[in-house]
Amino acid sequence: MSAQPYRFALESFRINNTRSRHEDRVFVSASIVVGHAQPQTQTRRMGDLNNGTYNPNISFEVINVDDNDTIVMSYTIVNNGHTDPSAVEKTLGQAASTLAGKAAQAAASAAGGQIGSVLGASIGTTVVPLVGSALGALAGWIVGEIGGVLFANCDGVVAAGVHPFTGAQLRAVASDGKILRNTDHNPGTDSPTGCGSNSDYNVTWSIRTYEVHGAIRDKWIALGAKNGLAGHPVTDETGCPDGRGRYNHFERNCSIYWTPQTGAHEVHGFIRTAWAGRGWERGLGYPLSDEQDMPGGGRMSRFERGVIRWQPGKEAWVTNN
C-alpha cells in the first residue's frame, strides 16, 4: 500500500488564565518526525496575549506516512517576557527538535504505554504522558534545555504535548475524509507569588488527509482516485488567484482544474510541466480537455488560449489549435 500524505496542524490554543498578572508573552513551537528522519520544527513568536483563542498558523504539509512508520507530533508553548525574543525563538525551536527526536527514538524502541517511560528515562524526567498534556513531566526539562534563556518572575512553560502514532493508526482514523482532532487541557503548575494565577491553556491539534470536492472529486474518481493516474491529493481544493477557477494538485505530477465554463479537467506529466512553465491558467488559460492522444502519435491537452503537444523524445510545445 502506498504512503499516504497527511497534514499535521497545531490549529489553535486558548488561554483561559495567563501565568503572568496581565499578559503572557507567548512563543509556540511544534515538531513532526516520521521514523528515523530529521524532525521538522516550526516556531512562532505570538506576542503579548491575554485570555482568548489564537491561531499560531503552524502546519506540516504533505507528510508521507507508510502503515509501518512511527510518527510523533509534539508541541511546546512558553511565556517569556525577560529575554530577547529572537533568542527565545531560536532556543525553543532547538529544544523542540531535540524533544521530537528523542520521542521518535523512544517510539521506535518501545510500544504502547511504554513509550512515555522510555522517553522520560532518556531525558531524565518522569514518565511522559502520551494522551493530553505532558506539561508536568516536561516543563523542567524544557527550561533546562533552553539553557541560557532567562526565565524570571512569572515566566514559564505553559503547555506541552507528545503524541505518537503508527501509520496504520492514522490510516484508520485520519484518512478518506476523516479528521483526527483533539484538544489537550494544560493546567499550569503553581506560579510564583505576585503572578496572576496558575496558567491554564487548551491546545487543539489535528491530523488529516487533503480534501477533494464536487466536480474535481468526480474527475479524480473517474481517473481511479488514489490508485489511478493522479494518486493522493497533496493540496486541499483551492481557489485560483483570478477568483474564477479551483484546483487540486496530486502526488503523481497531476492537477485537476475546474471552472463553471470549462468543467473539470486533468493536466499531468510533461504537458503539466510545460503549462506550469507558462504561468498555469494565467498563461494559456484553463484546460478544455483531459490529456488525449494526438493524431500522428504523442499526447495533447487543449487550453483556452492554445494547445500543448508532446511526443516521446521531444520537449512539449504550444500551438494555436
Query: pLDDT of the chain along its 321 residues, tens only?
Result: 578 999 999 999 999 999 888 889 999 999 999 998 999 999 999 999 999 999 999 999 999 999 999 999 999 999 988 788 898 899 999 999 999 999 999 998 887 668 999 999 999 999 999 999 999 999 989 988 887 666 667 788 999 999 999 999 999 999 888 999 999 999 976 666 667 678 999 999 999 999 999 999 999 999 999 999 999 999 999 999 999 999 999 999 999 999 999 999 999 999 999 999 999 999 999 999 999 999 889 999 999 999 999 999 899 999 987
Backbone angles phi, psi at 109, to 5 degrees: -110, -5
Q: Could you report the per-residue pLDDT of 47-94, keeping only the tens digit for each?
A: 999 999 999 999 999 999 999 999 999 999 999 887 888 988 999 999
Q: Could you report the per-residue pLDDT of 1-46, keeping only the tens digit for each?
A: 578 999 999 999 999 999 888 889 999 999 999 998 999 999 999 9
Beta-carbon contacts of residue 193 (< 8 Å; ≥ 6 apart): none
What Rg value do the Cα atoms of the chain yield, rounded? 24
Q: Among all chains, which residue has been given the C-alpha cell 513509550? A: 115
Closest CA to 307 of 316, 256, 258: 316
Helices and strands per DSSP (H, E), number in the chain: 6, 17
Average model confidence (pLDDT) across the chain: 92
| Structural contact between residues 79 and 19, judged by C-beta atoms closer than 8 angstroms | yes
- SS3 category, 168: helix
Handedness of CA 96, 102, 103, 104 (dihedral sign): positive
Domain ranges of the chain: 4-208, 214-319
Model pLDDT, residue 22: 82
